[in-house]
Amino acid sequence: MFNIGDKVVYPQHGAGTIENIEEINFCGTKQEYFVLKLDGGIEVKVPKKNAQNVGMREVVDSEHASKAFGVLEMPKQEYVYENNWSRRYKANVDKIKTGDICEVADVVRDLSHRHMERGLSTGEKKMLLTAKQILASELVLASDMDKQHVDDLIEEKVKFSFNLPHDDTPKEEL
C-alpha cells in the first residue's frame, strides 16, 4: 500500500508526504494511522484501513500533471454561467471529492473564469481557493517546481484560457 516517504493525495485537503505510521488507541481499539504532512505544514492522520475508502492515492506523474495544466488552458464554456448556483456548487464539490487532478483543474478553471466575468459568491470564492490549493499542492510534488512557480503557472494558464473564444459545447449536463 503506502510507506513512509510516499507522496500522496488526500482528496479535499491536497497532496503531501507520509511522515510516519503511528499506532493510536482510539476508544479502546488500536489502529494504525498514516501521518501526512500537507502543504503549509498541516498534519493529517488517516486510518490506514480507510485510506483507499477516502480516496488517498499516489501523486500523479509529470505526464498527468501536464494534462491538468492542459485542462486549465481550455476555453471558457458559456454553459457554466447559466446554471443554478446550488447545482453548480454541488457539481464542483463532487469534482473535488473525486480526487482526480484534472477534475480539480476543471473546477479551478471554471470558477476562475466565472470570477473574472461575473464575480463569485462567498462560498464559491472559498471553494476556488481550496481547489487552487489542492491543485497546486499536487502539481508541486508531481513536477518538482516550487509553489510560487506553480501558482504563477496556474494563474497564467487560466488567464490565457479566459481570453480564448467561448466553447458553447457542454461537456456534461450538470
User: Cβ–Cβ contacts within 10 Å for residue 55, how many?
Assistant: 14
Distance CA 71, CA 160 (A): 12
The tens-digit pLDDT sequence of the chain (174 residues) is 899 999 999 988 999 999 999 999 988 889 999 999 998 889 999 999 999 999 999 999 999 999 999 999 998 766 555 567 888 899 999 999 999 999 999 999 999 999 998 889 899 999 999 999 999 999 999 998 999 999 999 999 999 999 887 665 555 543
Task: Catalogue all structural domains in the chain, each as residue range(s) with its CATH number.
Answer: 7-58 (2.40.10.170), 62-162 (1.20.58.1290)
β-strand pairing of 7-10 with 29-38: unpaired
**Global confidence as pTM:** 0.87
Residue 166's pLDDT is what?
Answer: 66
